[in-house]
Amino acid sequence: MTMTIGLAGKPNAGKSTFFKAATMADVEIANYPFTTINANKGVTYVRAECPCVERSKRCGHCVEGIRYVPIEMIDVAGLVPDAHQGRGLGNTFLDELRQAQAIIHVIDASGGTDVEGNPVDVGEHNPMDDVDFLNREITMWMFGILKRNWDRLARKIQAEGLKIEKVLSEQLAGAGVDEYHVICSLSECKLDHNHVKWSDDDLVRLCDGIRIMSKPMIIAANKADVAPGGFVSDLQSLEQIVVPTSAAAELALKSASKSGAIKYDPGDDDFSIIKEDLTPAQKKGLENVHALIEKMGGTGIQDCINRSVFELLDLIIVYPVEDEGKWTDKNDRMLPDAFLMKRGSTAHDLAYKVHSDIGESFLYAVDAKTKMRLGEKHELKDGDVVKIVSTAK
Ligand SMILES: Nc1nc2c(ncn2[C@@H]2O[C@H](COP(=O)(O)OP(=O)(O)OP(=O)(O)O)[C@@H](O)[C@H]2O)c(=O)[nH]1
């Protein structure tokens, strides 16, 4: 399964700028066949330390010891309050969100756009008022799907003695919901045992729980470069992961890097000017960005992507190899693959991810760093380099 992150938020929050900056790969790291799949779907990267830094030789798949692991990103445009009722582009955006395992909610932390995204003076709109609307849109979208058929479904569950989590997850499968999400939400909501008695409010509460389980969300407090300090800190006090970002600064750095003016790799906390003949305007622009990222510790864009993957989704990176001594595959390529896996995944899970045949004929694995033998239930750690031994040809 490809790992996909969706960017969502009201108009003018900075999604397109974030998307463009995040998917504009420098040639050096674009070790992926394409970067932009179509207008709103592209490839971005998770940044990690490459295991080859422990060796005398670089692997050739990283940038000076920094590994960029590709993931997909979708820019979900056209979202306005009450979209679930058909406003704006209506439900089309929600259909795109179904592909995402996690959502970055891009919020205009500068307060320079109203609730619908129309420009106002910076500081005029309180960005705290934008936090809940995306949650509500997604919840109400799910509610709409369930409500359409609820009377029929409720009778069917009763008449045929079906499991409620099965019926509900089938209804919401198109929204990326599975039985586990429904079971967790049912146990949280403590609704009446008799589902026939559920009111619309009960169904909304249930959908809210399903949303929290199935669509984990992180907030990008964007336009942090011009945001009044209080707005960013208010957002950071929420019980959610909130990352201050400047998509505009990241886009400026990526563009300058692409043109050869500076050396900057995504996620670096600084850059160096490598081109001599910059115009005074270009120099001034870069000085401004420098002052900003010094204050912020970076543009926040890579941090936001990394935290979505490592904190919100709790994934780890594992490197399968065929030669545990040289850390190579059969073509002598060192550390050719980097797999994102759920924390708690085992050596056997990795074998299946490499190939189903290898999973089925798994014998044991070897930790290429320690040369220890690992059994099928051995839980993998972030950064592990692992050889799988199987009877598969
Ligand atoms: N100061 C500042 N401006 C930004 C930043 N990110 C985006 N902008 C500006 O905000 C405006 C809106 O940005 P877009 O990226 O087009 O916003 P969007 O969310 O994609 O908007 P829609 O396409 O209408 O949904 C543009 O003028 C951007 O240049 C940022 O980090 N800082």
In tens, the pLDDT along 163-190 reads: 999 999 999 988 889 999 999 999 988 8
Residues 166, 167, 168: CA angle, nearest 5 degrees: 95
315-390: CATH architecture: Roll (3.10)
- Domain 135-212: which CATH class? mainly alpha
- Measured from the Cα of 75, ligand 1's closest atom is 20
Q: How far is the CA of 15 from the centre of ligand 1 (A)?
A: 6
Separation of 119 CA from ligand 1 center, angstroms?
A: 11
* pLDDT confidence of residue 230: 93
What is the atom index within ligand 1 of the atom nearest the CA of 79? Answer: 25
Write down the pLDDT at residue 33.
47
Q: What is the DSSP secondary-structure string of 162-219?
A: --HHHHHHHHTGGGT--HHHHHHHHHHH---SSGGG--HHHHHHHHHHHHHHHS-EEE
271-291: average pLDDT: 91
CB-based contact 299:275 (threshold 8 Å):
no
pLDDT at residue 104, as a whole number: 97
Of ligand 1's atoms, which has the minimum distance to the CA of residue 13? 19
pLDDT band at 30 (very low <50, low <70, confident <90, very high): very low
pLDDT band at 26 (very low <50, low <70, confident <90, very high): low
Ligand 1 centroid – CA 13 distance (Å): 5
Q: What is the pLDDT of residues 77-90, one digit of tens each?
A: 767 777 777 766 66
For the Cβ of 137 lying below 6 angstroms from any atom of ligand 1, the answer is no
Q: Which atom of ligand 1 is nearest to the CA of 222?
A: 31
Atom of ligand 1 lying closest to residue 9 CA = 19
Most confident of 52-61, 114-123, 146-155, 341-350: 341-350
Note whether 8 and 77 are within 8 A (CB): no
Kindly state the tokens that stand for 270: 């600084």
The pLDDT, as a whole number, for residue 76 is 86
Mapped to the 3 state alphabet, what secondary structure does 15-37 carry? HHHHHHHHHCCCHHHCCCCCCEE
User: 110 alpha carbon to ligand 1 midpoint, in Å?
Assistant: 11
The finding on whether 130 has its CB within 6 A of some atom of ligand 1 is no
Q: Give the integer Cα–Cα distance in Å for 96 and 37.
A: 14
Q: How far is the CA of 224 from the centre of ligand 1 (A)?
A: 12
In this structure, what token pair is assigned to residue 160? 């045929």
Q: Is the CB of 14 under 6 A from ligand 1?
A: yes
* Confidence check on the interface: ipTM exceeds 0.95, yes or no: yes
Delimit the domains of the chain by residue range: 4-128+216-309, 135-212, 315-390
Cβ of residue 299 lying under 6 Å from some atom of ligand 1: no
Ligand 1 centre and the CA of 181: distance in Å? Answer: 34
Closest residue to atom 7 of ligand 1, CA basis: 14
Q: Is 108 in the pocket of ligand 1 (CB under 6 A)?
A: no
- Enter the pTM of the model: 0.92
Mean pLDDT for the stretch of residues 53-65: 92
Distance from the alpha carbon of residue 222 to the mean position of ligand 1, in angstroms: 9
CATH of 4-128+216-309, one of 3.40.50.300, 3.40.50.2300, 3.40.50.12280, 3.40.50.1980: 3.40.50.300
User: Using a 6 Å cutoff on CB, does residue 345 contact ligand 1?
Assistant: no
Higher pLDDT, 303 or 158: 303
Q: Residue 380 gets which letter from DSSP?
A: P
Q: Per-residue pLDDT for 392 more than 90?
A: no
Residue 155 vs residue 32, higher pLDDT:
155
Backbone angles phi, psi at 382, to 5 degrees: -60, 130
Which of 96, 82, 91 lies closest to 15 in space, CA to CA?
96
pLDDT digits over 226-266, tens only?
Answer: 999 899 999 999 999 999 999 999 999 999 999 999 999 99
Q: Is 16 in the pocket of ligand 1 (CB under 6 A)?
A: yes
